[in-house]
Amino acid sequence: MAEAYDITSAGINPAEDRAYRFRSYVIAMSMRVLCLLSLIWVRGWWMLIPVIGTVVLPYFAVMVANAVAPSHTTSRPDEVTPLSLTEAEKPEPQAAPIIVIDAPADRSQRGERIHDD
């Protein structure tokens, strides 16, 4: 099997991370709804389990939904040192642009067409 190389320090795709956190939140809140609905049938001291689930699960669901996944790498890639230009490679300064005026301003503002005769 070929060895995998990390060429970037980018973490997990943000869209995939959000989708994972959303799924875990929905699962935890669905379990909370099940705990709440189970209070209809459960009696006695067993009722404490769904009550605790109903009260505690929202806290954990929000904590999991807000937890961003860490970067997949612990090391950063080597920094690149910028290259410097030598005197021979430096570009020549550009000349000022030339502005060409083809018609008087009063003719073009009146909306007349200008024909070259």
Number of separate domains in the chain? 1
Say if 98 falls within a structural domain: no
**pTM summary value:** 0.51
Contact between 64 and 24 under an 8 Å Cβ cutoff? The reply is yes
Over range 68-81, report the average pLDDT: 65
Which residues span the domain enclosing 49? 14-66
Q: String of b and e for 100-110 (b: at least 16 CB within 10 Å)?
A: eeeeeeeeeee
Residue 72: what are its φ and ψ, rounded to 5°?
Answer: -75, -10
Q: Is the pLDDT of residue 71 over 60?
A: no
Please determine, for residue 1, whether its predicted confidence score (pLDDT) is greater than 70.
no
Mean pLDDT within 60-70? 81
SS (H, E, C) 8-35: CCCCCCHHHHHHHHHHHHHHHHHHHHHH
The DSSP result for 49-71, as a single string, is: HHHHHHHHHHHHHHHHHH-PPPP
111 part of a folded domain? no
What pLDDT score does 107 carry?
56
pLDDT reported for residue 37: 93
Nearest-angstrom CA–CA distance, 111 and 37: 76
Q: What is the mean pLDDT of residues 35-56?
A: 90
* 21 has a pLDDT exceeding 60: yes
